[in-house]
Amino acid sequence: MIVNNLGENNSILNQFIAELRDIHIHGDRLRFRRNIERIGEIMSYEISKSLQYKTIDVQTPLGVKPVSVPDEQIVLATILRAGLPFHQGFLSYFDKAENAFISASRKYNETHSVFTIDIGYLSSPSIEGKTLIIIDPMLATGSSLESGYQNLLHRGNPAKIHVACVIAGRQGIDAACKIFPEDKTAIWVAAVDPHLNDKAYIVPGLGDAGDLAYGEKI
Report the pLDDT value the prediction gives residue 216, as an integer from 0 to 100: 87
Domain count across the chain: 1
pTM of the model: 0.91
Range of the structural domain that residue 167 is part of? 2-51+72-214
- d(Cα 92, Cα 84) in Å, to the nearest integer? 12
User: Is residue 57 situated within a structural domain?
Assistant: no
User: Is residue 60 situated within a structural domain?
Assistant: no
The pLDDT tens digits for 9-26 are 999 999 999 999 999 999
Q: Is 142 left (phi over 0), alpha (psi -120 to 50) or beta?
A: left
Runs of H (alpha helix) within 11-95: 13-21, 29-48, 83-93
Instruction: Check which CATH number belongs to the domain holding 23 and give it.
Output: 3.40.50.2020
User: Is residue 59 situated within a structural domain?
Assistant: no
User: Is residue 118 situated within a structural domain?
Assistant: yes
Report the pLDDT value the prediction gives residue 218, as an integer from 0 to 100: 72
Q: Which residues contact 203 (CB under 8 A, 6 or more apart)?
A: 169, 193, 194, 195, 196, 197
- d(Cα 112, Cα 84) in Å, to the nearest integer? 26
The pLDDT tens digits for 142-157 are 988 998 999 999 999 9
Report the pLDDT value the prediction gives residue 112, as an integer from 0 to 100: 55
- d(Cα 65, Cα 55) in Å, to the nearest integer? 10
Give the torsion sign (CA, 62, 64, 65, 70). positive
User: Is residue 56 situated within a structural domain?
Assistant: no
Residue 143 C-beta-side C-alpha neighbours within 13 Å: 14
User: Is residue 96 situated within a structural domain?
Assistant: yes
User: Is residue 105 situated within a structural domain?
Assistant: yes
User: Is residue 199 situated within a structural domain?
Assistant: yes
**Could you tell me if 21 and 206 are in contact, meaning their C-beta atoms sit under 8 angstroms apart?**
yes
**Could you tell me if 132 and 77 are in contact, meaning their C-beta atoms sit under 8 angstroms apart?**
yes
